[in-house]
Amino acid sequence: MVERLRRAPAQYWMLVLMWIRSSLAYPASFVLMLASSMLITVMDFVAIVLMFSHIESFGGFTLGEMALLYATASMTLGVADLFTGAIERVGERIRTGTLDVYLIRPVPTFLQTAADGFALRRIGRPLQAGVVLAFALSNLQLEWTPAKVVMLVLSVITGSIIFAAIFVLGAAFQFLAIDSAELANSFTYGGQTLTQYPLSVFGKEIVRAVTFVIPLAFVNYYPVLYVLGKPAPLGLPSWIGLLSPLVAGAMVALASLAWRGGLRRYRSTGS
Amino acid sequence: MPLGPDTTSKWERRLPCVYWAIGVRSFRRFSTYRIATASGAFTNTVFGFILCGIYLTLWHERPGLGGYDVADALTFVWLQQGLLMPIGIFGATTTVELGERVRSGEIAVDLYRPTHLLLWWLSVDLGRAMFQLAVRGGAPLLVGSLVFDLKFPSNPITWLAVAVGLVLGILVSFTIRYLVALSGFWITDTRGMEQLALVLSCFFSGTILPLVVFPGWIGEFARATPWAATLQVPVDIWLGRSPDGIGSALLFQLGWLLVLLLAGQLTTSVATRKVVIQGG
């Protein structure tokens, strides 16, 4: 087990490198796809900017503060999508039975499906999120403390892990219901859209749901509230964002159980 | 097999039936993806609720924004979520397939058929659109109307105009996607073009934000593009918010459709003259 985990990063990197080399075979096409990938993902932020041509604040957030929320939501989903997003293609492999190939290779099936067709152009989303983050940080006159820096950096890492776990959960569900790939979009891309906005505008029930049921609020909302010095909703303590590593750990454990369970259920097509 | 003059005219007389049959089979083909359809409708509904939360806040901060009241904005959300797939705002399986056939050369089979390329794929796309409209179009609207107070057209004339506007919207969207797919005759890899078309379609159709909210010249430009004719215009007909009345809204769609059909026909004839099929 320990040995397998130790070898995993190198194995994953090897698979990823193979796909990168293949995508760079057509450099012009790659640059075009990267540019349009950045364009597509930046549109959500353009929508927010267009909204702010009519309003001063959105649910108590200024444009700069919204930019910070947007950047962290887009960054975390982008990183998760880059590293594990391809796993949603497992449904296609289950239907056609080509998952068999992955089961007999001496590399964990999870790593192979996560790296399946690794698309470097997906780095477009984190890249544009980085640009918006720079805009947000230069726009906001924040009083930085070490605790705030730790909170922000930590939230980007743990937020990515939470989204990655959701991608894996969605993929695991496809062992039960083939063709349900779009269902996971509700929680991944839907989760990103939700977390781009101050969650309090969606009402107390939603805040409760994304705190205790699907812990999307820990991706960026609670950490950003702490960085901006805003109080947490529902009477929760302001440091609640610091719990995000624990939440991420729980999500990973859950996703890992679901993936194993799904893989055990896999019956090939028999062809 | 050489077709005699008699057989050819018989074929031509039966062509409308052929296109109808293609459409029906395309409809049936899409009806087999049951779980995919259900999970898609679920996702549309989740996004509907998220967008309602956002728009409720936006219209609370600025009541009457863009000439919409709160009920208009919420109805816009649920109509949009139901119509994204039928109209093919993010692209559609059918036209993506056409692009792949151009890339792989399988398009030769399509050109060999005694049917018109554009009409063949139009029938395929309409079959898809009608299935997705029937099954997915109403589901989010139904859920939305249980939770929120939504607007529905009150008289039969408006219902008729909505139906016509929707069909025109789907046709305009098809002709754009058809042109994108045929671009593969000149640039071998259409994926870049498809991505660019996706950006333009999302932005100018009102998908990321209703076009009525777009300020100043961006708004005026966006509302004049063919993408506005795909989603924003039919939704405005439903809401009774067409700026210059229903008649000019439909004329706007029809105008773009004619221009794009002409472009499609022209591109088809230039492309088919240019095509070289590798023997083998």
Which of A212-226, A233-247, B141-155 is the least confident region?
Answer: A233-247
Residue B145 lies in a domain: yes
| Chain B: residue whose CA lies nearest to A29 | B192
Residue B279 belongs to a domain: no
Q: Write down the pTM of the prediction.
A: 0.87
pLDDT tens digits, one per residue of A240-255? 888 899 999 999 999 9
Round to whole Å and give the CA distance between B66 and B74.
Answer: 14
In a domain, B33, yes or no: yes
B6 occurs within a structural domain? no
pLDDT mean over B107-121: 87
Mean pLDDT comparison of A236-245, B9-18, B67-76, B103-112, highest-scoring range = B67-76
User: In angstroms, what separates the C-alpha of B63 from chain A's closest C-alpha?
Assistant: 11
pLDDT score at B2:
47
pLDDT tops 70 at residue B10: no
Give the CB-side neighbour count of residue B173, counting CA atoms within 13 A: 33
Q: Which of B43, B191, B196 sits opposite A182 (nearest CB)?
A: B43
Contact (CB<8Å) A201/B57? yes
Residue A227 has pLDDT above 80, yes or no: yes
Band (B278; pLDDT cuts 50, 70, 90): low
Q: What is the mean pLDDT of chain B?
A: 88
pLDDT of residue B7: 55
User: Is B9 contained in some domain?
Assistant: no
* B→A interface, C-beta within 8 Å: 33-36, 38-40, 42-43, 46-47, 50-51, 53-54, 56-58, 61-62, 65, 189, 191-192, 195-196, 198-199, 202-203, 208-209, 213-215, 218
In the Cβ-directed half-sphere of B214, how many Cα atoms lie within 13 Å? 20
Where on the phi/psi map is residue B235: left (φ > 0), alpha (ψ -120 to 50), or beta? alpha
Enter the ipTM.
0.85
B192, A178: Cβ pair inside 8 Å? Answer: no
Domain boundaries, chain A: 2-265
Where in the sequence is the domain holding B134, given as residue range(s)? 15-274
Total of domains in chain B: 1
CA angle A218, A41, A258 (to 5 degrees): 45
pLDDT tens digits for A39-67?
Answer: 888 888 899 999 998 998 898 899 999 99
Of the listed ranges A53-67, A170-184, B228-242, the one predicted with least confidence: A170-184
**CB contact A202 to B (< 8 Å):** yes
Nearest to A85 by CA among A73, A96, A98, A76: A76
Question: What pLDDT score does B251 carry?
Answer: 95
Closest-CA residue of chain B to A53: B215
User: How would you class A143 by CB atoms within 10 Å of its CB: exposed for 0-12, middle for 13-18, buried for 19 or more?
Assistant: exposed
Whether residue B195 and residue A178 make contact (CB cut-off 8 A), yes or no, is no
A186: nearest CB among B46, B51, B58: B46
Give which of B50, B183, B187 to mutate to test A binding, by max A Cβ within 10 Å: B50
- Residue A58 φ/ψ, nearest 5 degrees: -115, 110
Within a domain: residue B107? yes
Measuring CA to CA, which residue among B197, B195, B248, B194 is closest to residue B224?
B248
Give domain status of residue B187, yes or no.
yes
Q: Is the pLDDT of residue A74 over 50?
A: yes
* DSSP code, position B229: T
Contact assignment for B196 to A59 by CB distance below 8 Å: no
Check CB contact under 8 Å for B39 and A181.
Answer: yes
Beta carbons of A193 and B196 less than 8 Å apart: no
Cβ-based contacts of A185 with chain B (< 8 Å): 43
Cβ of B220: how many Cβ atoms within 10 Å?
11
pLDDT at B3 over 50: no
Contacts of residues A139-143 at CB distance under 8 Å and 24 or more positions apart, as own/partner, are A139/A63, A139/A64, A139/A67, A140/A64, A140/A65, A140/A68, A140/A228, A142/A227, A142/A228
Q: Give contacts of B56 with chain A, Cβ < 8 Å.
A: 201
